Chains A and B, each alone.
Chain A
Amino acid sequence: MARLNINGTIHEIDAEAETPLLWVIREQAGLTGTKFGCGIAACGACTVHIDGVATRSCSVTLADVTEAEKIVTIEAISPDRSHAIQKAWLELDVPQCGYCQSGQIMAAVALLDSNPNPTDEEIDAEMSNICRCGTYNRIRAGIKRAAELL
């Protein structure tokens, strides 16, 4: 049985080695904040952090990840919605349907972790997740607002 470190807790995982990390997180660990969107790493709804790197979990298998790697999901970027990105998202009413927002937030958190004051071009380059509701300009404004709050 595989063991994974998800949000600081070691989970015993009963799944085949080729099972995507996304479905391990959703169905074995029971954390449904990480969303299924496309299954081909095209949309980013399933974005999580693996050792701080934004990763599309639908295209990483259980076999690809070790217990030593720290997986962080949307549920654990702050205990109380107090991360600057979450505060900015609330302040600007960023989400519409919200389904893509877990992935957007995980991508945005990783961006600010590596680049605390990104330009528009840097935001364009790093934020490639799809939002069908069209919240892109509020996401951009939210990242800039979060940069001020950090």
Chain B
Amino acid sequence: MTKHFTLSRRVFLTSSLAATGALALGFRVPANAEEAAGATSDVKELNAWVVVNPDDTVLVRISRCEMGQGTLTGLAQLIAEELEADWDKVTWEYPSPGQSIRRERVWGNFGTYGSQGIRNSQQYVREGGAAARMMLMQAAANRWGVDVSAVKAAKNVVTGPDGATLTYGDLALEAAQLEVPTEIKLKDPADWTLAGKSLKRLDTEAKLDGSQIYAVDVKLPGMVSAAIRQAPVIGATVASFDADAVMGMPGVKKVVQLDDYAVAVVADTFWRAKTALEALPIEWDEGENATLGMADIHASLDEGLGADQAFIGTQRGDVKKAVAEAAKVVEADYYFPWQHHATMEPMNATALVSADSAEIWVATQDPEGVLAITAEAADLDILKCEVHRLHLGGGFGRRASSHEYARQAVLLAKEMPGTPVKLIWTREEDMIHGTFHPITKARFVGALDADGNVTGMHMRISGQSIRAGLMPHAMDEKGDPMVFQGLNEKSTEGEFGYTIPNLLIDHALRQPPLRPGYWRGVNNNQNAFYLESFIDEMAHAAGKDPYQFRRGLLKDHPLHLRVLDAVAEGIGWDKPAPEGVFRGICQHHGYGSYVAAAAEVSVDERGSLKIHRIVASTDCGHVVNPQQVEAQIEGSFAFGLSAALHGEITVEDGRVQQQNFDTYPPMRMDEFPKVESLLRPTGGFWGGVGEPTIFVAAPAVTNAIFAATGKRVRQLPLSNHDLSA
């Protein structure tokens, strides 16, 4: 195993300790599992982040995963900032989960989801950079025989009291022998010179000439490829298949049933495996979902909208009383359909299993989770397994859980010991066997007094819970608190910003059997669409301007209000829109960040929608790389508006109806609006940026459509609506 491991790292990582003779400050990479098992006692955690090479290059380790969101570069900036590194000399590598487990998880959580890549790593990676810098300064002070307080560090150079200089490369060997400092003072962000700047990404060049190796591109000696067919009906199982019918086809090596729900063909190439799979007769036991369709699913969710029993998220005052005493009652029902991640790189994995080792090459947002899956599927001790991490060709939450493609690759490789097996899902397999954005509906009842003030509101959510789908054992009498993302009281993660004296937000769990999963933005997406649409409805019912109406309700939440004000100013809310153009506005708080958006749209007489312009604002506390935050804000509109305009996964006869981009069409360039990003960081906290703007994409546009047409879009996607006059 060690041999394969070393070989593969040379192929895929930018640097190899063995090859460069570099010294990692305070630790060394174990040569094998046996050595590693006894080597944990001298591990110095802080310096696991930084390696200084004798040639003065600096290698920083990135435990979180890069899937386009720019976390890799941001974390490198934070480490380099505290290290006082020369940015031009900074390189990076991914530590592996196998290394981490042998070192008592020195790199912390690898999981990259929940917009946490920066905010939940920033403290320890900055400390790692600072500790390394302190050791380099101490090494220089020792060399010169002066106190460390007399030396300074900047751009990979330590300068002494008399102006003498030593490079980090000069000092690497000596610094590595020193004690790791325990008292570390981090820089004031006001003094940052690398962090907070719009530096270029560290991972762009290889993406320009085809040299970036994604998991689907991995090549190993003797490798074979596999195609898979999983049960087309939800929950169906394999009844029988006729392997003999295809064994004589070109390149075919093996036909394998996986668990009870899938059959795979292994061949010398993927195309031959896929061709044989399509010719393979498979009979299915379709099971209890064979007649399931949207009529059943809508009926279940509709019943939940009025059900007596529900899990309570937020409750204050007495909503029933407020409604009974209201001058005006506003009511509306909404629907947010299943969505698909549709990562550009379909699910795939390559595995190599022998009697005493298992390795997998995979794109994942949870490398440690895949390590556990690999060990379980290979039936081997976890210390005999390794995960080789590749950049993800899109993640969006699909690669955060439900790594059955990884398990399948290991099971296939186990059938062919010593032969690497690459499993690729076709787009159709990927689409049908997703982990779908949960399907929900919402029912609102709002109470207004005679002056148009909101005195009460009931928001009932009916539909799926991701927890109930993925971790049913974790459900208790409180239900799934994550259902209420962005609707919580007193939460730094996602707080309901409107001051409404009588408020009830609850959830009736209705769980149709199509598997729900984490879809970029997760439950904030539907919650923001529902709430921000209904706030607009109440503003209209109260005869008030939707921006000013929100301002009044947000009086106790100045940070929510601040980004709302920013987009109102940016779009020019107080000035008339261009002829025929109409505006919508909204805000939300999620993953620790405050976001708002305003949209300008027009709808022609045929009902054709054009989104002219979006202004979006984010307060994520600290900004590590402004141009990458802007890239996330822009990208969030492509993701959120693709769903709002076109996205809907449906089920009939127990089967997912959409199988490719022709029936699940993402937004393309010609539909994509101009986006102006207004970064309004207030400091003092760390919020995420990979997801939050998605929350406000749909309601900004649907509220603008209402302004343009008087038509309230309560069911997504827009493609099901006739907006013509």
Q: Which A residues lie at the B interface, using CB under 8 A?
A: 15-16, 19-20, 23, 26-28, 30-40, 42-43, 45, 73-75, 77-78, 81, 86, 89-90, 93-102, 105, 123-125, 127-140
**Known: A33-B210, A96-B69. Is A15-B271 also a contact (CB below 8 A)?**
yes
22 contacts between A and B (CB under 8 A): A26-B217, A27-B269, A31-B210, A32-B216, A33-B210, A37-B346, A40-B661, A42-B665, A43-B661, A45-B344, A73-B210, A74-B210, A81-B209, A93-B628, A95-B207, A125-B670, A127-B669, A128-B668, A131-B638, A132-B638, A134-B635, A138-B634
**Known: A99-B344, A100-B344. Is A130-B210 also a contact (CB below 8 A)?**
no
Whether the pair B212, A134 counts as a contact (CB closer than 8 A) is: no
CB distance from A63 to the nearest CB of B (A): 14
CB distance from A43 to the nearest CB of B (A): 5
The stretch among B52-60, B197-205, B233-241, B408-416 that forms the contact with chain A is B197-205
Compute how far the CA of A77 lies from the CA of B209 in the bound complex, rounded to whole angstroms.
Answer: 8
Contacts of B434 in A (CB 8 A): none
Contacts of A75 in B (CB 8 A): 209-211
Compute how far the CA of A35 lies from the CA of B426 in the bound complex, rounded to whole angstroms.
Answer: 13
Compute how far the CA of A107 lies from the CA of B373 in the bound complex, rounded to whole angstroms.
Answer: 39
Whether the pair A90, B670 counts as a contact (CB closer than 8 A) is: no
Whether the pair A139, B669 counts as a contact (CB closer than 8 A) is: yes
CB distance from A25 to the nearest CB of B (A): 10
Contacts of B665 in A (CB 8 A): 42
CB distance from B66 to the nearest CB of A (A): 8
B385-400 contacts to A (CB < 8 Å): 391-396
CB distance from A56 to the nearest CB of B (A): 12
* B191 in the interface (beta carbon within 8 A): no
Whether the pair B269, A133 counts as a contact (CB closer than 8 A) is: no
Whether the pair B627, A93 counts as a contact (CB closer than 8 A) is: yes
Whether the pair B669, A140 counts as a contact (CB closer than 8 A) is: yes
In the complex, per-residue mask of B393-433: 1 if CB is within 8 Å of any chain A CB, else 0: 11110000000000000000000000000001011100000
Whether the pair B394, A133 counts as a contact (CB closer than 8 A) is: yes
Whether the pair A42, B661 counts as a contact (CB closer than 8 A) is: yes
Whether the pair A42, B662 counts as a contact (CB closer than 8 A) is: yes
Most chain A Cβ neighbours within 10 Å, of B393, B426, B634: B393
Whether the pair B208, A133 counts as a contact (CB closer than 8 A) is: no
* B436 in the interface (beta carbon within 8 A): no
**Known: A27-B271, A39-B426, A99-B344. Is A134-B208 also a contact (CB below 8 A)?**
no
Contacts of A35 in B (CB 8 A): 214, 216, 344-345, 393
Q: Is the interface of B mostly helix, strand, loop or mixed?
A: loop
Whether the pair A99, B631 counts as a contact (CB closer than 8 A) is: no
Contacts of A130 in B (CB 8 A): 344, 661, 666, 668
Compute how far the CA of A86 lies from the CA of B499 in the bound complex, rounded to whole angstroms.
Answer: 51
* B166 in the interface (beta carbon within 8 A): no
Most chain A Cβ neighbours within 10 Å, of B208, B214, B219, B666: B208
Nearest A-chain residue to B426, judged by Cβ: A39
Q: Which B residues lie at the A interface, using CB under 8 A?
A: 67-70, 200-201, 203-214, 216-217, 219, 225, 250, 269-272, 275, 342-346, 391-396, 424, 426-428, 627-628, 631, 634-639, 642, 660-662, 665-670, 672, 674-675
Contacts of B669 in A (CB 8 A): 123-124, 127-129, 136, 139-140
Compute how far the CA of A118 lies from the CA of B331 in the bound complex, rounded to whole angstroms.
Answer: 49
**Known: A33-B211, A38-B661, A42-B660. Is A96-B668 also a contact (CB below 8 A)?**
no
Whether the pair B209, A33 counts as a contact (CB closer than 8 A) is: yes
CB distance from B26 to the nearest CB of A (A): 33
- Given A39-B426, A132-B342, A132-B343, list of 11 further CB < 8 A pairs? A32-B213, A35-B393, A37-B661, A39-B660, A75-B211, A90-B200, A90-B204, A96-B68, A99-B393, A128-B668, A129-B669
Whether the pair A86, B68 counts as a contact (CB closer than 8 A) is: no
Whether the pair B394, A99 counts as a contact (CB closer than 8 A) is: yes
**Known: A43-B344, A131-B638. Is A96-B631 also a contact (CB below 8 A)?**
yes
Selected contact of B271 from candidates A20, A32, A124, A136, CB within 8 Å: A20
Contacts of A78 in B (CB 8 A): 209
